[in-house]
Structure 1
Amino acid sequence: MTDPSRTPTVAVSNQKGGVGKTTTAINVSGALNELGNDVLFVDLDPQGNATENLGMMEAYDAEPPTLFDCLTDPERRDSVHDIVHDHAEMDVLPSNIDMTAAEPELTLSRRSGEQLALLLERVDDDYDFVVVDCPPNLGNLMDNALYASRNLLIPALAESTSKRAFELLFDHVEALELDYDITISERGVVVNRIDVRKNQATEMVDWINEAFDGVPVWEVRERAAVQKALENGSSLLEYDPECDMCEVFLDVAADLEEQFAAREVEA
């Protein structure tokens, strides 16, 4: 069971690329902020797409200390306070080009899957939520995100290839749960870029709702404003609050609040 005393931490994860992972992470973070939460956004993807989308390319190319140093060198963990960047909607722990070397470095670590959790202990008490944008592949960085969060929000597309992606993800999650004797909870699925004109999209959304019985499923329809918001360095709620998809991300955020509030009551 997830420790209810810890700051609610959610990994936005799907090892299949192009499913709207970063879009989901940024917009859910923006929605949590809109509901009055202090949010820390962690870009754990070495590609740094979220860091770029949030207008922080200078951080991606910055000299040490960076997220790589804080993650792979225990003696530099306290430097995390120096690399958290301000954004209008959230604080950001940006990725860095050096993160491309993190996988082999973490392999050599004695507690390879626990480094992010140990790092977040330095800062997560300052926030109401931590949202981790995961890399689009399985490995040590993904393990660190899942171990640190114990909570999973899954972005997906309304296409048949998602079925195999779900299978691979859950096989990996189950193996990690066994290795570390932990429980990782599914907090919901966000289906992105739905084109309601396509029968396959409608059929796939129905399949996801059936497959994830008891788990919330949210539908994000194709809207140009979603991509334009990222190009503008913000969430959709900041860029175009009148867009109808804002309500979807606010629903995700409100549901996460409710789920974590219920967790505390049960404890």
Structure 2
Amino acid sequence: MQQSHTTTVVTLGLAGGQGKSTVALMLGRYLGRLGIPVLFVDADPQSSLTSFLGVKVQPNTPTLLEVITTTEEKTPLINAIAPVPDVQLDNRTINNTNLFLIPSDDGLENANYKLASSGISLFILRNRLQPIANNFGVIIVDPPPERSHLAQTSLGAGDKWIIPAEANVKGVQSLVRTLELVKEFQPALPYGELMGVVPFRAKWTGVNPTKATKSSISAMGEIVGLDLMLPHILESDVYKNAINQRVSPTDLGQPGLEYPISVLAQKLKPTLPEQYALLIPTETV
């Protein structure tokens, strides 16, 4: 039975460079290309997602800071939602009609003070998003790579949590720390569920993974269980080029590199409203 409410996906990671923003970005672009309306929420003061999506924060236009720190009466949420602009690529127009963003800038760091003084900081973002959630097929939140109140309110907003982690020793350590955060707050968030772990920047030599990649992915599987291990994302300049050009690997002629994202979409499919679930192909590509 399909869900009737909009699912919020949160990419989690307590270290930089783990692929958190990349997975959020690529998943949203993949779903948007299928015709599913996606709302991105950039909850990181570094504003990587805002930059990657090419959204310019306009003067006197509310960002996530105002959404978190003021009421709906003072800052209507709809006023903070910006459309993601289309992109020109090789005389083609990459249409982003289905993509929207609540942007951030470096001022978002100030939200931590507001959240710290609130007794319900874990639920503030979730509560603010609920009135407009059903206008979208999926909401994707990208929190900061640190243990902060912004990370906690992002965690509380999520129905499904994804943990990207580099396929190396640093990534394994980040995974352990991120799981500790989830474990700490899980009792207060019975609606939240770990969707899986995505090894990031996996390195291969020829047709085989390097020893470091193989041992790191194996260690991750031992920590979370094989059922929660998702396909890895290869280390490839194609991802970097896609991010820089504000497109997807498929737009650059490399649809195979989106296989891990298509598997994520398959896992997400049963949680989506039926009209959007039907848009996700039965078979991964």
Q: Determine if the TM-score, normalized by the shorter chain, exceeds 0.5.
A: yes
Structure 1 residue 201 and structure 2 residue 248: aligned? no
- Whether the 8 Å CA contact 1:30–1:235 is kept in 2: the answer is yes
Cα displacement (A) at 1:168 = 1.6
Cα displacement (A) at 1:137 = 0.5
Cα displacement (A) at 1:48 = 0.1
Distance 1:65 1:181 in 2: 28
Distance 1:181 1:15 in 2: 19
**Could you tell me which amino acid in structure 2 is paired with residue 83 of structure 1?**
A
Distance 1:86 1:101 in 2: 25
Sort the Cα spacing of 1:77 and 1:34 in 2 relative to 1 into closer, same or farther, 3 A. Answer: farther
Aligned to 1:69: 66
What is the aligned-residue RMSD (CA, Å)? 2.1
Cα displacement (A) at 1:69 = 0.9
Cα displacement (A) at 1:171 = 1.6
**Could you tell me which amino acid in structure 2 is paired with residue 206 of structure 1?**
S
Q: Of residues 101, 109, 112 in structure 1, which corresponds to 2:121?
A: 112
Cα displacement (A) at 1:122 = 2.4
Structure 2: unaligned runs, 5 residues or longer: 85-95, 275-285
Aligned to 1:148: 157
Distance 1:47 1:169 in 2: 19
Cα displacement (A) at 1:5 = 4.4
**Could you tell me which amino acid in structure 2 is paired with residue 226 of structure 1?**
Y
Aligned to 1:168: 177
Sort the Cα spacing of 1:92 and 1:194 in 2 relative to 1 into closer, same or farther, 3 A. Answer: same
Distance 1:153 1:216 in 2: 10
Q: Of residues 178, 192, 203 in structure 2, which corresponds to 1:184?
A: 192
Aligned to 2:237: 224
Distance 2:231 2:168 in 1: 15
- Whether the 8 Å CA contact 1:32–1:254 is kept in 2: the answer is no
Cα displacement (A) at 1:206 = 2.4
Distance 1:134 1:174 in 2: 17
Sort the Cα spacing of 1:128 and 1:97 in 2 relative to 1 into closer, same or farther, 3 A. Answer: same
**Could you tell me which amino acid in structure 2 is paired with residue 247 of structure 1?**
Y
- Which range moves more in the overlay, 80-89 or 202-211? 202-211
Structure 1: unaligned runs, 5 residues or longer: 263-267
- Which range moves more in the overlay, 26-35 or 228-237? 228-237
Distance 2:72 2:33 in 1: 36
Distance 1:261 1:216 in 2: 25
Q: Of residues 197, 211, 215 in structure 1, which corresponds to 2:223?
A: 211
Aligned to 2:268: 256
Identity between Structure 1 and Structure 2 (%): 23
The count of residues paired between Structure 1 and Structure 2 equals 255
Distance 1:111 1:99 in 2: 18
| Matches for 1:3-18 after TM superposition, within 5 Å | 4-18=3-17
More helix by share: 1
Structure 1 residue 84 and structure 2 residue 60: aligned? no
TM-score (norm 1): 0.87
- Whether the 8 Å CA contact 1:41–1:91 is kept in 2: the answer is yes
- Whether the 8 Å CA contact 2:202–2:234 is kept in 1: the answer is yes
Cα displacement (A) at 1:65 = 2.4
Sort the Cα spacing of 1:164 and 1:6 in 2 relative to 1 into closer, same or farther, 3 A. Answer: same
Sort the Cα spacing of 1:55 and 1:110 in 2 relative to 1 into closer, same or farther, 3 A. Answer: same
TM-score (norm 2): 0.82
Cα displacement (A) at 1:26 = 0.2
- Whether the 8 Å CA contact 1:187–1:216 is kept in 2: the answer is no
